Amino acid sequence: MKKRNFCPMAAAVLTAAVILQPFSASAGALDQIRSIAKSIISGEPKEVEELRQMEVAQSEEGHQEYYFKQLTEEEQRVYRELLKGIRAREKEFYLTISDDDSIDRSYHAVLKDHPEIFWAHNREKIYKTTYSDSDYCVFTPGYTYTDGEIDEIQTAMEQSFQEVRALIPEDAGDYEKVRIVYTYVIDHTQYQTGEDDQSIAGVFWKKSAVCAGYAGAVQYLLERLDIPCIYVDGSTKGSTEGHAWDIVKIGQEYYYVDATNGDQPDFLNGDAVQLEEHKTILYDYLCPFPEEYEKTYSPSEELTVPACTAKDLDFYVLNQGYFEDYSWQDIYDYCKMRLDNGVAVVRFKFGSQEAFSEACQELLDDGVVQNVAQYYMKLHGLGQVEYHYGVMDNFYTIYFIF
């Protein structure tokens, strides 16, 4: 802990100098003298005094900055100081507060609001140098990557964005843009731990990441497409591991988007998951029913997130694959319709545990699904067919893959 000693004699001498020569100095010189005097009297460095005088921008073009809006005025100032220093890749810089909790909230808000500053992320240690009886500190963030690597990663980010933009039809609505980003991130990323797994560098540069990288990449791409997207971190029920996902705003409603869990259907029975032709995106985690998603995941309490309540954009609702109750005939008709349209993956969802359990019993345990397989064989003129199925208990969904 460093301590800065106040020198009353120096302050008195400086004040006398200003009084003795009030008209001989220019206005600029007088302002400089006053600034020095104030700095000495307050015990703060000149840089800190200048930071306190700076206007705090309340918004920034191209970024939603959802978490910035939750901070106090003092924390918002520090948020801007942090963002400025990190963007300039300064090894250390002043902050105009010293309270640990406020600095942590501001820093976490910056990281969540700005996935593009990937060289400062949650794996690196940070340091704060505070001073006794002073309300400021020196902040030392931990950085990753050389300047050359940062340039290379930013090039990869831009390339990915251009690839995504090329996939979006001119008349695409916001939901379609979200769906395309969701599938793009899943298709171009392998879930794998590594040195780059905690930021979007993993997704766009190394093509592998964990949940923090997936969620940050979705946020980065959607913000560039002018879709409000909030990065969320939190906990997983029944696990000590954390998780990260997104909340998107489409129209006036908020929806969960979890690209990490949408990647790789490892719930399939047998060895189907190993078969390349059976790899499919799980759309269960694209705008899922909120109450079902929240059974497993809870956001951290440090900063709040908006409530998700809408169900209208759930994949199954949009594609007529949602059934309140179980009826074999309804499911059979739906499967035939999907197979007639040329798909190899048929999936559907039920509105309750009771309906889901009834469907699993008859379709899977009793083998009634073989009627669907026979229809597939007849449709394609086959003598036999191998099929696999998968279930997602948390969403009451069943998959058939031929």
Q: How much is the pLDDT for 274? A: 47
- Res. 183: pLDDT tops 60: yes
Separation CA 377–CA 392 (nearest Å): 26
Separation CA 260–CA 12 (nearest Å): 63
> What is the per-residue pLDDT across 321-335, written as a single tens digit (0 to 9) for each?
999 999 999 999 999
Do the beta carbons of residue 211 and residue 245 sit within 8 Å?
yes
What's the whole-number mean pLDDT along residues 186-205?
92
The pLDDT-based confidence of 195 (bands split at 50, 70, 90) is: confident
> What is the per-residue pLDDT across 196-255, written as a single tens digit (0 to 9) for each?
888 999 999 999 999 999 999 999 999 999 999 999 999 999 888 899 999 999 999 999
> What is the per-residue pLDDT across 258-285, written as a single tens digit (0 to 9) for each?
999 998 756 555 444 444 444 678 999 9
> What is the per-residue pLDDT across 236-249, written as a single tens digit (0 to 9) for each?
998 888 999 999 99
Q: Are strands 229-236 and 297-299 parallel, antiparallel or unpaired?
A: antiparallel
CA nearest neighbour of 321 among 292, 283, 357: 283
Predicted structure pTM score: 0.86
- Res. 90: pLDDT tops 90: yes
Do the beta carbons of residue 401 and residue 272 sit within 8 Å?
yes
What's the whole-number mean pLDDT along residues 67-82?
98
> What is the per-residue pLDDT across 295-319, written as a single tens digit (0 to 9) for each?
999 999 999 999 999 999 999 999 9
Q: How much is the pLDDT for 279? A: 60
Q: What stretch of H or E contains 175? A: helix 174-187
